[in-house]
Structure 1
Amino acid sequence: MGLDGVEIFTNSSGSHHELRKLYTRVELIKEATLKLGGIYLYANQQGCDGDRLYYDGCAMIAVNGRIVAQGSQFSLNDVEVVSATIDIEDVRAHRAKSSKSMQAAQAERYHRVEVDFALTRGKFEEVDEQDSIGLIGSKSIDVRYHSPEEEIARITGEPEDSTYVPVDPREFTGRIFHTCYMGTENSSAETRKRAKQLGEAIGSYHVDLNMDTIVTAVRNLFGFVTGVRPRFRSHGGSNAENLALQNIQARLRMVLAYMFAQLLPFVRGRSGGLLVLGSANVDESLRGYLTKYDCSSADLNPIGGISKTDLKKFIAYAQHSFDMPILGSFLSAVPTAELEPITETYVQSDEADMGMTYDELSVFGRLRKVEKCGPYSTFTKLIHEWGSFLSPTQIAEKVKLFFFEHARNRHKMTTLTPSYHAESYSPDDNRFDLRPFLYPARFPWQFKKIDEVAAALPDRSIQSSAVDKDKTE
């Protein structure tokens, strides 16, 4: 269209939000208008359409690769208008810098519709004295990019009652938000304390309870029926027993959460019920590090599409932006499910249980989903990315472990609590991931190939260099 002389382009877009996506969107518009010249009017949908997608607006006007106007992101207004003063002659001057005569001669001709008005004034047209110097065009602006933690903070909802006006954030939270700490004998006093302090800081209606009697009842029931009473691994039990006893606690929390959600308004003399919120992040879901139909089961999950890495950044951001010092203790705490007994020599850790860090999970997620890599392709890429601090065989083991766990837990992702689609590798339903959910989890051909190549590659990691240096000395 530009080769045929079109100078103003409009785009009524429906681009859904993902963390960090605005930069890509802006760069596409700048590159397109810089290459051929033109005035680009970009409008985008705002708000939620009732699905998992959120449209972040941010209308823009670009001229020859420069952004001259930008609307807000995450606005809840029905309409937002962005304007700028532009000079069409700038487009013609920009296009005159490079000759595209051959391309233009072969370009498709677009149908013209003549109208009885003009966007510009004629060169010799008479004008009022006060308007003789014309208008000044809008200058370039610096595009405002929110950090991922700021984007997370701006994804908000509307009050339950349109006639209700909150007095302050804590009062509003106390009205709509209920928190419940469901501890067991495996829970630490530190975690219980942090939960209570966080509830007080945000103003939630907080409930604190122990559910040991319920867990023991289920455990005793199984022993009465089968004649075998399962034990934790630290008490001499098998891995199967240990996992089953953890799952009991997790699933009972889901049952209790729904009971409290239904009856807490009644307890407070109010009508209606509550929505149950889940709290599994995108990396845990991708790895399958959750019990099916456990406390991750809920009505909606606000953080289900956000990585652990970004969540930690958001917590640090919220600590200072919202004046909540208590959040600092969450950043320093070791992530743990607290489903196994704590002993002098053992404290359960999420990353130790998973066999990989949350940062590594984010890398695996993007390679598998965004870059469409299978096990072997992932291994070949990570050899270059991680080769300076991990040996080829260490990288191979991590790759195989991830794909094995992802494949054997893929069925869990079909029952995940609905969440806002915020990350490009979210393990959403089939609208975003069309792959099947039943896999041969050991990938025999790919894993064999990885092992063969890993054994043949030299170890260029820091650990290897340190060992060689010790030997030399």
Structure 2
Amino acid sequence: MSHLITLATCNLNQWALDFEGNRDRILESIRIAKERGARLRVGPELEITGYGCLDHFLENDLCLHSWEMYAQIIKDPKTHDILLDIGMPVLHKNVRYNCRLLSMDGKILFIRPKIWLANDGNYREMRFFTPWLKPGVVEDFVLPPEIQKVTGQKSVSFGDAVIETLDTCIGAETCEELFTPQSPNIAMSLDGVEIITNSSGSHHELRKLNKRLDLILNATSRCGGVYLYANQRGCDGDRLYYDGCALIAVNGKVVAQGSQFSLKDVEVVTATVDLESVRSYRASIMSRGLQASSSELKFKRIDLPVELSPMTSRFNPSLTPTKSRDIFYHIPEEEIALGPACWLWDYLRRCNGTGYFLPLSGGIDSCATAMIVHSMCRLVVKEVSEGNQQVIYDVRKLTRSSDDWIPTDPQELASKFFHTCFMGTENSSIETRTRSKELSRHIGSYHVDLNMDSLVTSVVSLFEVATGKKPIYKIFGGSQTENLALQNIQARLRMVLAYLFAQLLPWVRGIKNAGGLLVLGSANVDECLRGYLTKYDCSSADINPIGGISKTDLKRFIAYASKEYEMPLLQEFLDATPTAELEPTTKDYVQSDEKDMGMTYEELSLFGYLRKVEKCGPYSMFLKLLHEWTPKLTPTQVAEKVKRFFFFYAINRHKQTVITPSYHAEQYSPDDNRFDLRPFLINPRFTWASKKIDEVVKQCEANNSKELDIMSID
């Protein structure tokens, strides 16, 4: 015996406050779901407004416009004959909730507010919404007058309820609720809910997808049932990229999975599932039966007198259950190639930009940024070749091209809007200049090669005339203060030049009706954390695609790109010693990033993880690393490294207040605009913690001395 039903979930590339665009993408997803025979369609969290509205959620206009868009959706006959699960903010008794609205045939069945809100890391939902802390409680909600005219209803149920049709029971949970210890899906499944939807606004982080899918599969494996996961996709106006990967799981196995990275604005994932397999699975687990029979939380059933699975009383040879499949995961190198690339494309097309400008230094960071843009071009060309009309329209609009132009390869597309520049000085090497020029040739960017020595000399001369003092480099006898100032002059002048060229290059090239280019930054997460960058240098840009990615991961990405994109040139970037090239090179001295910082990039990544993710201060970090790094390092050496890290982190914390908005890809991002809320004026010595560290070092040294004495006696 079988009881088949076709279900649909989706990835939608929604944009904060783009009410009409968001509405149209929702309508398109409903059209596709119905076309495929689905009887239930679930969409992402807050899909009508876009998830990332932030403080705009505090504006009552947002609720008004949400209802206006919602009315247009449900009154459209093309959206009828399918159960809809749509997300938007709702004011109930003057309290703002993050809600799911479930409807069918133009009638609202009930409104389900989110119970557990995301309020850590990048998320501040409790700044905008109130959680519904009344499990199992349902109240009456009086609909706005405009909606009453559309639906013919005065009020609907509002609260923690489920829908009961003639043939099954359906419940909804939202994003964060999946990640909580007592997820609502547990109580729902014990109360007989067979189909559970989860509407999400979950952002991409490297290696994060595994956790999300593990939770879904674990939930349906323990409790049985059908789970529909929907997610937002794309850059909706901020640092985050929502990575889609809509999913349908049955009894712990995946039967359908959407893409994680794509330029498609609407992607619908459907599967036909057998409800009898859910009932059989659950009934065969005795402990589940005992817990279900004794469960105290009983949900109110909202009656929907329709049958979602057609022809259940007779065999339908045209309808078969979707087979289970293996989960697909991208390796981290692919995530770096695809996630920031999709984010860059959304940013460019939605700000109606002319293109990107990148200071290409010949080092691995700017190389990685350039390769991410190249990856973006590859994705765009692929979508164009497959006939994606939205991408074709955006390409022609951004490049100011004719209505019949089609890019044939990534290099042709890059030549239209990607601009790079090597800003050399007397401290620059032939190798970095050559690597920059060759890389630009391989990826097709419009490249400028210049020397800025005269500009640097002019500024130094101006200072000398004004003060009577001329700074000189440390290797020629100058002080550290002079040395740092001379480096910063070059770095800051590069930022000025970057914006000058970004503004005028389209004009130089004769591009009509073109505005300025967006300047790309290329400071990695480890350098930002350590503060190893000049405030307002060319790390200051419009956006930074690698600002949340570690140096270690960037090197792995370049190694991957070298083979995947058949560019052996990239190996030269990997082999080169990381250097800022801001000091003169002599036969006895070559500037090195890791030597300047006093720590390796690998150590920086670990410091960042322990500080942010493990919530370690100097003392607890020292204790953790003492166990991990000994006997390779002595306790004194471990202490020195920890103190050095916290000192430079503290004195450079102020730089994070003006750091370029970056693609968020790493849990230890130091971005203090939202993710890392720490003060920027800190005592860099951490005196009390340092004293405690010194005490432990003394104890270790004393213990080691005793052990040596014993060994000498033996």
Give the Å deviation of 1:387: 2.4
Selected match of 1:233 from 455, 469, 474: 474
**Preserved CA contact (<8 Å) 2:523 2:539:** yes
**Percent of pairs with identical residues:** 65
Q: Is 1:348 aligned to 2:532, yes or no?
A: no
Q: Are the counterparts in 1 of residues 399 and 416 from structure 2 also a CA contact under 8 Å?
A: no
* Cα distance, 1:84 vs structure 2: 2.1
| Counterpart selection for 1:148 from 332, 350, 366 | 332
Seen in structure 2, the aligned counterparts of structure 1 residues 180 and 122 have a Cα distance that, compared at 3 Å, is closer
Matched, 1:307 2:547: no
CA contact (8 A) 2:190 2:291 kept: no
- Structure 2 distance, partners of 1:32, 1:451, is 47
- Between 1:275-284 and 1:156-165, the stretch displaced more is 156-165
Cα distance, 1:264–1:448 mapped onto 2, change above 3 Å: same
The one-character-per-residue Cα deviations of 1:250-282 (angstroms, maximum 9, x if unpaired) are 011111111111111221112422111111111
Q: Could you tell me how far apart the structure 2 residues matched to 1:380 and 1:141 are? A: 45
Post-superposition offset of 1:289? 0.2
Q: 1:74 aligns with which of 255, 261, 270?
A: 261
Query: Residue 98 in 1 paired to residue 98 in 2?
Result: no
- Say whether the 8 Å CA contact 1:392–1:459 is kept in structure 2: no
Matched-pair contact (CA < 8 Å) for 1:391–1:459: no
Displacement of 1:78 after TM fit? Answer: 2.6
Q: Does 1:178 align with 2:362?
A: no
Which of 583, 592, 607 aligns to 1:364? It is: 607
CA distance in 1, matches of 2:630, 2:495: 42
Q: Give the C-alpha shift of residue 227 in structure 1.
A: 1.6
Q: Is the 8 A contact 2:191 2:292 kept in 1?
A: no
Distance in 2 separating the partners of 1:362 and 1:201? 31
The reply on whether 1:265 has 2:506 as its aligned counterpart is yes
**Deviation string for 1:390-420 (max 9, x for gaps)?**
2222111111111111111000001111111
User: Which region of structure 1 is more displaced relative to structure 2, 34-43 or 82-91?
Assistant: 82-91
| 8 A Cα contact 2:526 2:551, kept in partner | yes
Corresponding residue number in structure 2 for 1:55 = 242
C-alpha contact (below 8 Å) 2:608/2:668 kept by paired residues? yes
Residue 75 of structure 1: CA displacement?
A: 2.1
Identify which of 211, 228, 234 aligns with 1:41: 228
Which residue identity is paired with 1:186?
N
Mapped contact 2:439–2:569 kept (Cα < 8 A):
yes
Cα offset, 1:316, TM superposition: 1.0
1:381 is displaced (CA, Å) by 1.6
For 1:60-139, list aligned pairs within 5 A.
60-95=247-282, 96-100=284-288, 101-102=290-291, 104-119=293-308, 125=313, 127=314, 131=317, 136-139=320-323
CA distance in 2, matches of 1:369, 1:200: 40
Residues 288-326 of structure 1, C-alpha deviations (whole Å, 9 max, x = no match): 000111111111112111111111111111111112111
Rounded to whole Å, the distance in 2 between the matches of 1:122 and 1:107 is 35
Shift of 1:212: 1.0
In structure 2, the gaps of 5 or more residues are: 1-187, 350-394
> Deviations along 1:26-55, whole A, 9 cap, x unmatched?
111111222222211101011111111111
Aligned positions, number: 461
Describe the SS at the equivalent of 2:328. Answer: coil
Contact 1:387-1:460 at 8 Å conserved across structures: no
CA contact (8 A) 2:204 2:665 kept: yes
Compute the RMSD of aligned alpha carbons: 2.4
Task: Measure the CA separation in 2 of the matches of 1:345 and 1:94.
Answer: 73
CA deviation profile, 1:48-75 (whole Å, cap 9, x unmatched): 1111111111001112222221111122
Write the letter of the residue equivalent to 1:419: S
* Displacement after TM superposition at 1:120 (Å): 5.4
* Structure 1 spans left out of the alignment, 5+ residues: 462-466
What SS class does the counterpart of residue 518 from structure 2 fall into?
Answer: coil
The 8 Å contact of residues 391 and 460 in structure 1, kept in 2 or not, is answered as no
The amino acid of 2:234's aligned partner reads G
Change (3 A) 1:69 1:384: farther
Q: CA deviation at 1:15?
A: 0.5
Distance 1:343 1:441, change over 3 A: same
Amino acid paired to 2:227: Y
* Residue 563 of structure 2 is aligned to residue 320 of structure 1: yes
Moved more, 447-456 or 320-329: 447-456
Instruction: Say if 2:484 is the partner of 1:243.
Output: yes
Alpha carbons of 1:166 and 1:358: their partners in 2 closer, same or farther (altered >3 Å)? same
- Write the mapping of 1:289-300 to structure 2, written as runs, cut at 5 A: 289-300=532-543
Asked if 1 retains the 8 angstrom alpha-carbon contact of 2:399 and 2:417, the reply is no
Q: What SS is found at the alignment partner of 1:42? A: strand
Tell me the SS of whatever aligns to 2:454.
Answer: helix
Deviation at 1:81, TM superposition (A): 1.6
Indicate conservation of the 8 Å contact 1:3/1:107, yes or no: no
Equivalent pair of 1:232/1:245 in contact (CA under 8 Å): yes
Alignment of 1:210 with 2:451, yes or no, is: yes
> 1:284 matched to which residue of 2?
527
**Contact residue 254 and residue 297 of structure 1 kept, 8 A:** yes
**Matches of 1:166 and 1:89 in 2, distance apart?**
50
Q: Distance in 1 between matches of 2:448 and 2:311?
A: 73
Report what 1:450 is aligned to: 693
Encode CA deviations 1:431-472: one digit per residue, 9 max, x unaligned. Answer: 2122222111110011111122133236999xxxxx99xx9x
Corresponding residue for residue 361 of structure 2: none
Matched residue SS, 1:395: helix
Name the CA distance, whole Å, in 2 between partners of 1:99 and 1:297: 59
CA contact (8 A) 1:9 1:41 kept: yes
Is 1:380 the counterpart of 2:635 in the alignment?
A: no
Q: 1:459 to 1:73 in 2, by over 3 A?
A: farther
CA shift in 2, pair 1:119/1:150, >3 Å: same
Pair 1:460–1:20, CA change in 2 (3 A): farther
* Equivalent-residue separation in structure 2 for 1:85 and 1:452 (angstroms): 65
User: Which has a greater percent of strand?
Assistant: 2
CA gap 1:325/1:161 in 2 versus in 1, 3 angstroms: same
Query: Aligned partners of 2:645, 2:244: CA distance in 1, in Å?
Result: 36
Cα distance change of structure 1 residues 388 and 89 upon mapping to structure 2, 3 Å threshold? farther
SS at match of 2:423: strand
CA distance in 2, matches of 1:453, 1:165: 67
Contact 1:7–1:91 under 8 Å retained in 2: yes
The Cα of 1:117 is off from its aligned counterpart by 3.2
CA distance in 1 between partners of 2:466 and 2:673 (Å): 40
* Pair 1:425 & 2:668 matched: yes
Distance 2:448 2:702 in 1: 53
Contact 1:388–1:460, Cα closer than 8 Å, also in 2: no
Q: After superposition, what is the alpha-carbon deviation per residue over 1:356-384, rounded to whole angstroms, capped at 9, x for unaligned?
A: 11111111111111121111111122223
Which has the higher mean CA deviation after the structures are superposed, 163-172 or 29-38? 163-172
Q: 2:679 aligns with which of 436, 456, 467?
A: 436
* Structure-1-length-normalised TM-score: 0.92
Which amino acid is 1:181 matched to? F
The 1:392–1:184 alpha-carbon spacing in structure 2 relative to 1, beyond 3 Å, is: same
Query: What residue identity is the alignment partner of 1:64?
Result: N
Mapped to 1, the partners of 2:629 and 2:194 lie a distance apart of 48
Q: Equivalent of 1:275, from 496, 501, 518?
A: 518
| Residues 139/381 of structure 1: CA separation in 2 closer, same or farther (3 Å cut) | farther
Is the contact made by 1:52 and 1:420 (CA closer than 8 Å) also made in structure 2?
A: yes
Aligned to 1:347, the other structure's residue is in SS state: coil
Q: Residues 137 and 302 of structure 1: is their aligned pair in 2 closer, same or farther, counting only changes over 3 Å?
A: same
| Cα distance in 2 for residues equivalent to 1:414 and 1:448 | 30
Give SS of 1:86's match. Answer: strand
